Amino acid sequence: MKIYTGSGDRGKTSLFSGERVAKNNLRTEAYGDLDELNSCLGALTAALEESHESIAEIRQIQSDLFHIGACLATTPGSPSAAALEPFDEQKSLYLETAIDRMDQNLPPLKGFILPGGRMPAALAHVARTVCRRAERHTVGLSEDKTTGQTPDAYQAVLVYLNRLSDYLFVLARYCNHLAGEADILWKK
């Protein structure tokens, strides 16, 4: 199978459920952000030491993002939609447990911090901002009346993305902390 087909040369792409849509519609914007976020997480794991305790968590998150992407790339009511398992709202609890584990080792947050520090922390901050964009686009998709879905259809996904951005913020602080790097506080 060739990687290039030419079928997208005129600005259209196929959804998981088979329909052809513009590459810039709400659905493709949302799952495109997830793809970008997944790549950011791959870069983050490449920057971490091989023994870093968060690598397994991040790999699970990457798998979760593939599942969410498949859900977003599928038109409701299509035969493909019936084949997809709903996104498990318990996945957010997994993130909360990881956040709590890291946070208990961090000094109290005393103000706004600037993204940066060591490379893994900086990459976690980049991933966090991409995650926030994915969340905004998923909110837009959930509120769009033309999708054929109720606004709460993506509720578990929205909770997960919101929690994931929190996880990435804490992970950035945690990476810096493990490296002996203090938070960079915002100075007015």
pLDDT tens for 32-80 read 999 999 999 999 999 999 888 899 999 999 999 999 998 888 877 777 7
Determine the Cα angle at 99 with ends 67 and 33, to 5°: 35
Percent of the chain with pLDDT over 70: 90
CATH classification code of 12-178: 1.20.1200.10
CB 166 within 8 A of CB 99: yes
Cα of 66 vs its chain's centroid, Å: 9
Q: What is the pLDDT of residues 149-180, one digit of tens each?
A: 655 668 899 999 999 999 999 999 999 999 99
From 3-12, 80-89, 104-113, 119-128, the region with the lowest mean pLDDT: 3-12
CA pseudo-torsion sign 58, 59, 64, 70:
positive
Q: Torsions phi, psi of 187, nearest 5?
A: -110, 125
DSSP characters for 76-93? TTSHHHHHSPPPPTTHHH
* Angle separating helix axes 119-143 and 155-178, nearest 10 degrees: 170
Cα 79 versus chain centre, distance: 26
- Cβ neighbours of 82 (radius 10 Å): 9
Cα 167–chain centre separation: 10
pLDDT at 21 over 60: yes
Among 97, 98, 120, 95, smallest CA distance to 178 is for 120
As a whole number, mean pLDDT of residues 110-126 equals 95
Contact status, residue 137 vs residue 167, Cβ threshold 8 Å: no
d(CA 79, CA 179): 49
Query: Please, which pLDDT band fits residue 146 given cuts at 50, 70 and 90?
Result: low
Q: How far apart are CA 73 and CA 81, in angstroms?
A: 9
Contact 58, 41 (CB under 8 A): yes
Whole-Å CA distances, 3 to 6, 11, 18, 50, 122 = 10, 17, 18, 31, 32
Q: What is the mean pLDDT of residues 98-107?
A: 97
pLDDT top residue among 84 and 124: 124
Residue 127's pLDDT is what? 98
Section 99-109 average pLDDT: 96
| Domain residue ranges of the chain, discontinuous segments joined by + | 12-178
- Model pLDDT, residue 7: 66
- 87-97: per-residue pLDDT in tens? 788 899 999 99
